[in-house]
Chain A
Amino acid sequence: MIDLSHYALLGNIAANLAESARETATTFGFHWSHFFAQIISFSIVAYLLHSRAYKPILKVLEERRQRIAESLTNVDRIKAELAETENARTNILSKANAQGNEMIAEARAAAAKVLENETQKAVSSAEQIIAKAREAAEADRDRMMLDLRREIGQLVAQTTAKVAGKSLSKADHQRLVEETNQQVAR
């Protein structure tokens, strides 16, 4: 609330200002011609300043203000885009991680399958090799047995021939040739 003391104070200030103006006018003097010349020159200066200085400056300031506003807008847009980009990057990384994990899992499964197949092949090959080796061993054994029997047969035949040649009597010879003669006679 403004009370009366304040109004009184304001009145005093106004009175002081008026007194100062009057004193100034009394000291420096007041001339209408000078006053109008001053008005004219001031108007010219004001016009020139307004048209040549203030306008371009205001224009520049306005442009700067617009640019700043645009920049701020751009900054917000860039921030939004950056956030979107970050989200996209995060999503892509997540997807890439997921795909990578999936690929690693598939590769491990494939490797396990290949390992299993190769193991089965190796086992099969080993079994075949063992079977072939066994067959070859049996064939060698059979062949050796055959050779052995043949050699024994030859030895038996040779020994028997030597013994029989020495031990056959005339009667034995006669009996043998009679046997053949009987075959022809039948």
Chain B
Amino acid sequence: MKTSKQTRREAKQLFVNCLVDGKLDEDRVRHTVRSVIERRPRRYISVLGQFQRLVKLDISRRTARVESAEPLTPKFRDSVRQNLENLYPTSLIIEFHENAGLIGGMRIQVGSDVYDGTIRHRLTHLEQQF
């Protein structure tokens, strides 16, 4: 369904109201959603849908997903965490996962930024070269 400009504008306004010092406050998000559902203004479902999209985008932007084929040592995790925090000054949610499908190496995704040094990525690149 196509979202109208008015709906996007209202969702953006809700999203801005949920920011504290430039960071999304989860309590404010919950309170805002609850309040909107109780009042049920016009087009509130579309507005909430758009608001959810903005929240997801923000969380995605602030989430760093670190995947590796082998488990990382705590020391190395700290090093990665430190490097990510230096690169992205906003508070990041850093998640570490293991993925044997990567064969070897590590893959880091922050929002739309991807740092991929896995063998799987190199093989995929090689396959595309053919």
Contacts and interface: CB of A to CB of B under 8 A. Distances in A.
B25 interface: no
Interface residues of A, number: 23
B79 A181 contact: yes
A148 B84 CA distance: 42
B104 A180 contact: no
Interface in B85-126: 86-87, 103-108, 115-120, 123-124, 126
Given A161-B103, A176-B106, A181 B80 contact: yes
B105 A153 contact: no
Contact of B127 (A153, A164, A165): A153
B59 interface: no
Nearest to A159: B123
Contacts of B124: 157
Given A172-B104, A177-B117, A180-B107, A152 B83 contact: no
Contact-residue bracket for chain B: 20 to 34
B83 A185 contact: yes
Contact of B106 (A152, A177, A185): A177
Contact of A173 (B69, B87, B116, B128): B69
Interface of B: 68-70, 72, 76, 79-80, 83-84, 86-87, 103-108, 115-120, 123-124, 126-130
